[in-house]
Amino acid sequence: MSDEKRIGLQLACEGLGDNLYCVPVIKRLRELAGANTRIDVFTRQPDLFRACPYVDRVYPMSDRAALESYPYQKRVVFDPKALPFALMETMDFISIPLGIGQLSFRQKQLEYFPVEQDEAGVYDIVLNTSMTWPTRSWPIERWQRLADALIEKGHSVAVVGKDVHSSADKYIKRSEGLNGCVDFTNRLSLDQTYYTIRKCGLFVTCQNGLSVLSGATDTEVIVLDQSIEWSKRAIYRHEDPHYKVTYVKGECSIYCCVSFDCPLPEESEKLKCVPSYEKVLAAVRVKLRAKGGSPAS
């Protein structure tokens, strides 16, 4: 139609989690924009939006011809560098520039739209060992220690994650398998990873894209809350950022959101944002008791 409005959203963010956080905002935009509005998305994660019912068409950000020739009535660029990243919820980075303000808890419900059929197995516990920034990564030795404790109690444990090259951070974010666990690292599509998380009894992860993906499930989740305060990257389900989610933090309260350079002067103080093994184990025990399972030793 000639009077159709067109809104083009450029999602300048690179990460899986940031793009997933955009979905509730786009849904709200769709509700407010009306039926005679076309919403197109330019993104570095186009597969996330191919089945999204709130988007009319998705373009990869690399499609420069489409990007430069797009006939915008409204153009919004979601760029984490443009706002105080460590002090705001991710959804605010796009909802505020769009002029729709902050979303309500109900509107912040996370969603994911897979296109593949579910071929995932069922595991008691799924771990995500993805190593991103040093201040947002749990040491692999602690992951192995946790896995050993769980396996000793008879739990089936799988590991998910994927090695990803970050053009923004200029390094590879790695995921490692663990001895004694079913190793799905670098072996599953995102859809099958989603199904694996959705069907397990407990998912344990650091703050990253898969922690956000888990918010689109009804699974019990433990998030290792680290260099970004948990409420700024909260998982919203059923209007509640604590619904089936436990956030385990370290001993540092700076929440500096620094990738590599801890501002604390003493070496002994560095990386205290990373929670201890004992704290994480205690959280796992609580979750397993609540589900009626055998707690880890």
d(Cα 146, Cα 256) in Å, to the nearest integer?
Answer: 27
* Positions in the chain short of pLDDT 50: 1
Residues 6+ apart with CB under 8 A from 296: 146, 149, 150, 152, 153, 155, 281, 284, 285, 288
Residues in the chain: 297
Q: What is the pLDDT of residue 74?
A: 64
Q: What is the pLDDT of residue 238?
A: 93
Domains by residue range for the chain, with CATH: 5-108 (3.40.50.2000), 125-290 (3.40.50.2000)
The torsion angles phi and psi of 71, rounded to 5 degrees, stand at -85, 75
pLDDT digits (tens, 9 = 90+) for 108-139: 999 999 999 999 999 999 999 998 877 788 99
Instruction: Report yes or no: 157 and 183 within 8 Å, Cβ to Cβ.
Output: no
DSSP string, 125-139: EEEE--B-SGGG---
Q: What is the pLDDT of residue 272?
A: 83
